[in-house]
Structure 1
């Protein structure tokens, strides 16, 4: 399990030294080196440590704007990563996340890399040290004063640099509360757990705009040694990830925490997605429970004011003795197809394709039955007289989310406390030993690793419910400071959506030329939130000049208003050959309320890149 105490103790330990830098120092052991995601380099720096420097070198790797320096002193070799201004590297986005790069050479002219334990033949650019910076130099005591209190700005350090993040607080995707934990200090103890900051170059690009100075070298050196000791003496929170559960075909956007989608060609291979291929969206390390912890696991139920403040528990064994139900439901990440927004303007978050969606048959106990079993006799009374409007879910990894009591207690809402997936125990990646399934709602409300359920007068606290993470801002808003997030509802039900997974020419000819029309067979999926059935999927192959209704196949016979899972479709249609020798097919779903997908993502763009449900487009070459 992720330990919040670990993060706090890490930061506290640095505080005691009078400096809380975020510069990344690790020993050259493969485990510690791998905690740095593929990071970019644009120069090298000599750093004094105890006045004796044996060597310094720089590796150019994926994350733009970072410099990694290897320094050997008194037989101790460390790597130092710090942000500098540099030109974007063309290969940054293409660098495989699983590649790890570390310094082996002892001089700027003697450098090699290792990938997966073996030497790489990739060329590495080494540049001479930049001229001395003219930026002001600050001590850690000066940084600590700027912690946002009493009207002070908010400063943080990273990589030997000092940043003023005051104007970014409201826009932090993880929520202002999260980032303020590092106010006036270092973010490194936090980034040691929240390693998604290393998955792309975006964090560094944003921070580069906030650079206000450099940290005094001697303060930095104390922090570097402290961080090195911390990593050597503290268990890696990602050391027990369930790697064996994950299908090798998954498209990995980030390994720590794991974020991976289903490849297009496998997305609709089966109606029920196999657990190992089910898309993965984690915010933290996957909780690990020992055999004894599982045997003694108890789900806590808090009925709030309705229960007189009393909390009750139920064991896994007793939970499984209750009436079991099975619900086939599709889960979709709120940011699915975010990459389509990025074609217009970059958003913050994982650049998903269409594969952050999957379907399973979930087995467990109705939440309604469980709450009544525990003592909630009259949910209407609890809501109307007790003002208990929300049911909140607390997870083992610290995540919290909530849904309205109307959905939670609706006998036709099919919300379950789940312990099975496709007839087998939940895998760790998908919530073992217990998770909540809230059919028709955004996947973030389907809390994994749930350990506590409570009735409350208020929705869940934290960035996943009240923060920017899952709130759709207007297209014209670039700065969250200009809006009151409390007035913007959190994402619950999802919009109508569709995707194309296959296009096969039916009468392909080598003589086909631009302007010709050929027949193609297209197939894919469609889904809408809130239980709204898919009633039609429209498909076009001539740029929307004409549309054809697809045949609905698997999933088309779901109960009206309780269509919790996707619907597959297929269609044979004419498609016009374009100037580049390709054909392009668009799809748009229509649901039970006759909601339909908009033609372009441009007009629904939002800074978090949520709910892109524009027409889906797929192109294939035919010449």
Structure 2
């Protein structure tokens, strides 16, 4: 599949640069307005530069249904970031009450008995349009053969704040630390099955799910409901329409009644509250694969990188920043590492700010699209401040770097993160 994705990336990038991808209700004037709002000047007349940061204006509340206790979450605008210390001892799957929330607007409360999924577009036989789509209701999906997968969902901006705090780079967007990720057991119907039931054509190129949350407004421009195309090769490979999370119906904040799960890909691909899917025989345009969720900056082409697909490599400690550890006592450090390109093969931990490293014990076998838990023993002797570091190597052989290449919207931070802690002379610890 990776070769298919690489071909798709190159082909779509060429089409966007040539202005050949079909716009979906967003005018050229609005695209230029978005670019101007971001202060971006592009030398390509056919492609706007990056838009303003994808963070909404201040709202009276986060628009999230489930409780957000401060010991478990940090609220960031319309979003809720999981506090890593709250995951310690929770097992492989992230409990629903601790799973991060990424909303562009607010969580809709939908009724499964009135919900329908509409499929339409030129990539289906008979080319049904949006006014006469092929429709499936919730009970239709539940009667279809289902699969269960373990997969993480992670925002592309997870770790964004470290571009600034560790590297001194200026980036735009929600200042996530590392808590915009969660791993769950998802049950649902393979998207391939639904597409074939709807009449998938051999000429299909792109598949674009769209959510049922409110329209998203950025830079004074109404961009419509959140949507992002997938290449048909990915859509029919391992993508599912999920209706269960950790053995229970999806919660409202996580896509009830049905959401898209795209293993290993950036979070924006995993459309929540999916209501319709356009299947096209040509490249589809969305602000979420051109203006947002591409890499812009001095290290990238003037029109930006290809749209983001696979996630990158990261590691996190299940310890609060600034935690204290008693000297002269053995402590068990725990954490998790993950990669969008394969399983985790090795994790190394440093307790002296990167001077020395030790091999951590892995507690999960390497598996694609999911994290691995790990642990390491630490017996500090000298009181004072220090930093914990963890670096992972995945099954492709890639290891987390000391520094990563910056981009203006702060996506895909993958460098080793410095986790500040203190060692005290006392006998009490607060991990």
TM-score (norm 2): 0.77
- Unaligned runs of 5+ residues in structure 2 are 1-27, 214-224, 425-431
Shift, 1:473, TM fit: 2.3
Measure, in 2, the Cα distance between the counterparts of 1:243 and 1:288.
9
Task: String of CA shifts for 1:414-457, please: whole Å, max 9, x gaps.
Answer: x1101111111111111111110011111110001111122224
Give the structure 2 partner of residue 533 of structure 1: 343
Higher relative contact order (CA 8 A, sep 6+): 2
* The one of 31, 39, 50 aligned to 1:168: 39
Shift, 1:254, TM fit: 3.3
Partner SS for 1:616 = coil
Task: Report the CA distance shift for 1:349/1:505 in structure 2 as closer, same or farther (over 3 A).
Answer: closer
Task: Report the CA distance shift for 1:617/1:313 in structure 2 as closer, same or farther (over 3 A).
Answer: same
Task: Report the CA distance shift for 1:449/1:167 in structure 2 as closer, same or farther (over 3 A).
Answer: closer
Measure, in 1, the Cα distance between the counterparts of 2:333 and 2:298.
32
* The one of 182, 198, 204 aligned to 2:58: 198
Contact 2:334–2:376 (Cα < 8 Å) also in 1: yes
Matched, 1:617 2:428: no
Contact 1:548–1:573 (Cα < 8 Å) also in 2: no
Give the structure 2 partner of residue 551 of structure 1: 361
Give the structure 2 partner of residue 425 of structure 1: 249
Contact 1:392–1:400 (Cα < 8 Å) also in 2: yes
Contact 2:265–2:340 (Cα < 8 Å) also in 1: yes
Give the structure 1 partner of residue 387 of structure 2: 584
Measure, in 2, the Cα distance between the counterparts of 1:272 and 1:325.
17
Give the structure 1 partner of residue 319 of structure 2: 502
Task: String of CA shifts for 1:22-81, please: whole Å, max 9, x gaps.
Answer: xxxxxxxxxxxxxxxxxxxxxxxxxxxxxxxxxxxxxxxxxxxxxxxxxxxxxxxxxxxx
Measure, in 2, the Cα distance between the counterparts of 1:429 and 1:170.
37
Task: Report the CA distance shift for 1:317/1:273 in structure 2 as closer, same or farther (over 3 A).
Answer: same
Contact 1:391–1:459 (Cα < 8 Å) also in 2: no
Measure, in 1, the Cα distance between the counterparts of 2:319 and 2:76.
26
Task: Report the CA distance shift for 1:437/1:586 in structure 2 as closer, same or farther (over 3 A).
Answer: same
Task: Report the CA distance shift for 1:166/1:322 in structure 2 as closer, same or farther (over 3 A).
Answer: closer
Give the structure 1 partner of residue 79 of structure 2: 259
Give the structure 2 partner of residue 324 of structure 1: 146
Measure, in 2, the Cα distance between the counterparts of 1:403 and 1:268.
34
Measure, in 2, the Cα distance between the counterparts of 1:249 and 1:360.
21
> 1:93-112 to 2 correspondence within 5 Å?
none
> 1:156-305 to 2 correspondence within 5 Å?
168=39, 196-198=56-58, 241-255=63-77, 258-270=78-90, 271-289=92-110, 291=111, 294-302=112-120, 304-305=122-123
Matched, 1:401 2:219: no
Measure, in 1, the Cα distance between the counterparts of 2:331 and 2:148.
38
Give the structure 2 partner of residue 522 of structure 1: 333
Measure, in 2, the Cα distance between the counterparts of 1:276 and 1:338.
24
TM-score (norm 1): 0.54
Task: Report the CA distance shift for 1:449/1:535 in structure 2 as closer, same or farther (over 3 A).
Answer: same
Partner SS for 2:56 = helix
Contact 2:171–2:410 (Cα < 8 Å) also in 1: yes
Task: Report the CA distance shift for 1:373/1:574 in structure 2 as closer, same or farther (over 3 A).
Answer: same
Measure, in 2, the Cα distance between the counterparts of 1:401 and 1:323.
26
Shift, 1:370, TM fit: 1.6
> 1:72-151 to 2 correspondence within 5 Å?
none
Give the structure 1 partner of residue 373 of structure 2: 568
Task: Report the CA distance shift for 1:340/1:575 in structure 2 as closer, same or farther (over 3 A).
Answer: farther
Task: String of CA shifts for 1:447-494, please: whole Å, max 9, x gaps.
Answer: 011111222244443321121x211224557xxxx8114xx2111101
> 1:443-462 to 2 correspondence within 5 Å?
443-462=267-286
* The one of 580, 597, 608 aligned to 2:400: 597
Partner SS for 1:197 = coil
Contact 2:324–2:421 (Cα < 8 Å) also in 1: no
Measure, in 1, the Cα distance between the counterparts of 2:109 and 2:234.
30
Shift, 1:368, TM fit: 1.4
Matched, 1:438 2:262: yes
Measure, in 2, the Cα distance between the counterparts of 1:453 and 1:364.
16
Shift, 1:284, TM fit: 1.4
Shift, 1:552, TM fit: 0.5
Partner SS for 1:326 = strand
Matched, 1:336 2:139: no
Q: Greater Rg, structure 1 or structure 2?
A: 1
Measure, in 1, the Cα distance between the counterparts of 2:420 and 2:316.
12
Measure, in 1, the Cα distance between the counterparts of 2:37 and 2:199.
47
Contact 2:156–2:411 (Cα < 8 Å) also in 1: yes
Measure, in 1, the Cα distance between the counterparts of 2:150 and 2:163.
30
Contact 1:250–1:260 (Cα < 8 Å) also in 2: no
Give the structure 2 partner of residue 373 of structure 1: 197
Task: Report the CA distance shift for 1:495/1:309 in structure 2 as closer, same or farther (over 3 A).
Answer: same
Task: String of CA shifts for 1:498-542, please: whole Å, max 9, x gaps.
Answer: 111239988714xxxxxxxx8653210000004x01011011223
Give the structure 1 partner of residue 296 of structure 2: 473
Task: String of CA shifts for 1:549-589, please: whole Å, max 9, x gaps.
Answer: 11111x3254xxxx2211100012466858xx123221111
Measure, in 1, the Cα distance between the counterparts of 2:120 and 2:337.
38
Contact 2:157–2:413 (Cα < 8 Å) also in 1: yes
